[in-house]
Chains A and B, each alone.
Chain A
Amino acid sequence: MTEQQPDWYSLMRDAPLKTKTFTMRNIERIEQRVAETRRGSKNGMIIIAAIAAASALAVIITVFALSISSAPIQVVKSTAQPPIASQTETQQPADTLNEHPYKLKGQVGAVEKPDFIYGAMPPKFMADPNQDYKITAADGEFVQIVPVVAPDQAHTGWVPRWYLLLDSSEGAVRIKDVPTYEMIVNTRVFFRLYPDQPKPSGFELEPGKVVQVTGQFEQWVRVNIITYDSPNNGDKWVPKSALTDWDPSKAREGFLRPGAKIYDEQGNAIGDVPGNNPIQINPVYSGNRYPMSSAGGFSGYINNKDFVPNPFRYDNGKFPKNANGQTYGSASDASTPETEPDLIRAYGVDGTVGYVLKKDLDGEMPKTPEEALAMQKNRHPGGRDIPLYDVDGQTVIGVFHIDG
């Protein structure tokens, strides 16, 4: 439920200051600095920019203006923009749609509105590939689905039309969920919301980006990625041919080695990566330091030896270890589920503070849709109890309840 905004909120859209403070004078001063630095400043940032431009690897963002004559290299979609549809259709009322129920090619997040698929909003619910769905509306490349059995508003949402399983025969190709594994982007590729999406809705992944494969459909794989500027909740599909097997020497994303320093352009140490978040590096430059950046616009330089590849699996030393070598701590200190500690701090049913095993909390992950369905059916509506341990991960001190 959206929290109601206070009545004074709208006043914050007024300019905070009485007078305009960023004027043409500011703009001209900046332009003058740019001109000066282009004339041969020793500023390291400008030298880096010049090197990058000369090597034809420079990719600098600009606002598109009608008068710009430079040929665009790529079209990058902004999350603020409406979704790209290969064919624009107006929303069709339900009675003009095929009433045939459909299953889905795989599990997919259904959203409140088609726009949400591209934005920062999480799915409204996860549509079950083994349930029958009715189409209640269509809009471009999206359809609104509702379960045939027990339809309700909570399970009404939009998914890409592609997910409809049009061929319900035994041999129909479905998405295969796989135990996660990492690969590396080998050739530049735009990710898509679904395989064969005519115009990719995602942004471009560059060589060296680490992807975590979670599913496969013909020659496509569904991946998780690390984002640094803004979360992206839609599915991401890339052709497997654009990826190469995991090779730490090719990875450009990972973590900073615990205790390592980050430096500014002048070589001064500037502190830790905020939140111990994953980092990305640019290994183009020679020398013993990489330029790096992290979430929140944080950037600097690190020593080559302090880069630890793979942003999905590395124990970055944030959590202490017990005598058995298990990490323990609070899940809220983890930047992703994959970096949660082995023992997660929790309160037992009687308020006892202890730890639960992450693997107990996550439970067994289904390996097939049939398995998932069976697990869902067998799930007890009252939830389940798991042991609450002391920090040693062995002494049971209570019970932790997981709701159904």
Chain B
Amino acid sequence: MRALESEYWKVIERFDAEAFRELMLTYGQEIWNYAFFLTKNPDYADDITQEVFLKVYGQIGSFRGESSIRTWLLAITRNMTFNYRRSTFLRRVVLVGAVSRRDSHPSAEQEALTNTLSNELWEIIMNLPVKFREVLVLNARYELSQREIAGLLGLSEGTVKSRLSRARQKVSVAWKEGTVYDRATT
């Protein structure tokens, strides 16, 4: 565990190079993972992670100390993912002819995704609809409470609780059956 984790955050006038690199070393992979959970696309996750840290570098007075730095970074990542989907940049990088369709055979993209996941559980989770996937990942992997998730996502706690329960149910069923859950579009 890095020494940084046990220190209180301090606010300084400027981000020096060492501190910025330390931030990326500490949180970069988790931010990338979160962007990947939301987009299911490693190229998008690369771009989004880059934009997140560029924004963090230049953000003005945005960290209010209300939450941990990690929760704050997750919030920025989430917002960046939504903006990213709307941006022209996304339209530029989408391959011509790449149509998302439901069929009985996995697409090349789906197969590529499956091959990169570390275990079958992640395959199940990555096939959940995004609104279930997100709350499950935030709870199980990032260990946020339902209340923290509600704050992060701007939802009521009841909605988070309901989505989390349904997400767990879906995964538990698929995990027991040893099959991949029906594919869903994001």
Contact = CB atoms under 8 A, between A and B. Distances in A.
Given A27-B25, A63-B26, A67-B18, A229 B121 contact: no
A298 B154 contact: yes
A66 B4 CA distance: 9
Given A16-B33, A21-B42, A78-B65, A30 B8 contact: no
A37 interface: yes
Contact of A17 (B15, B36, B61, B64): B36
B31 to A, nearest CB: 7
B135 interface: no
A322 to B, nearest CB: 24
Nearest to A232: B66
Given A17-B36, A297-B77, A62 B58 contact: no
Contacts of A228: 64, 66
A204 B64 contact: yes
A270 B57 contact: no
Of residues A17, A31, A63, which shows the largest number of chain B Cβ atoms within 10 Å of its Cβ? A63
B50 A58 contact: no
Interface in A212-243: 227-232
A299 B79 CA distance: 7
Contacts of A122: 147
Interface residues of B, number: 95
Q: Is the interface of A mostly helix, strand, loop or mixed?
A: loop
A78 B32 CA distance: 23
A22 B53 contact: no
Contact of B151 (A13, A31, A45, A229): A229
Contacts of B136: 12
B141 to A, nearest CB: 5
A229 B54 contact: no
Of residues B3, B148, B158, which shows the largest number of chain A Cβ atoms within 10 Å of its Cβ? B148
B128 interface: no
Contact of B10 (A15, A76, A79, A295): A76
B58 A49 contact: yes
Given A31-B20, A229-B72, A57 B61 contact: yes
Size bracket, chain A contacts: 35 or more
Interface string B50-71: 1001111111111111111111
B96 interface: no
A14 B171 contact: no
Interface in B1-45: 3-4, 6-26, 28-29, 31-33, 36-37, 42, 45
Interface stretch (A134-142, A274-282, A376-384, A389-397): A274-282
A15 B119 CA distance: 9
A59 B10 CA distance: 10
Contact of A37 (B54, B63, B154): B54
A16 B64 CA distance: 30
Contacts of B46: 21, 26
Contact of A6 (B80, B116, B171): B171
Interface in A28-82: 29-31, 33-34, 37, 45-46, 48-49, 52-53, 56-68, 70-81
A206 interface: yes
Given A6-B171, A18-B116, A34-B54, A27 B21 contact: yes
Contacts of A64: 4, 7-10
Interface string B133-171: 000110011000101101111111011000001001001
Interface string B102-117: 0000000000000011
A264 B88 CA distance: 12
Contacts of B179: none
B54 A231 contact: no
A62 B19 contact: yes
B3 A72 contact: no
Contacts of B83: 264, 270
B37 A16 contact: yes
Contact of A66 (B3, B63, B71): B3
B168 to A, nearest CB: 6
B154 A274 contact: yes
A65 B168 CA distance: 39
A12 B121 contact: yes
A390 B1 CA distance: 59
B8 A81 contact: yes
11 contacts: A12-B136, A30-B50, A30-B53, A60-B11, A61-B63, A78-B8, A79-B67, A81-B6, A264-B83, A295-B152, A332-B158
Interface of B: 3-4, 6-26, 28-29, 31-33, 36-37, 42, 45-46, 49-50, 53-72, 74-80, 82-83, 86-87, 116-119, 121-122, 125-126, 136-137, 140-141, 145, 147-148, 150-156, 158-159, 165, 168, 171-172, 175
10 A-B pairs with the lowest CB-CB distances in the bound complex, closest first: A297-B75, A230-B67, A76-B65, A61-B63, A49-B58, A203-B65, A297-B79, A296-B154, A72-B10, A12-B140
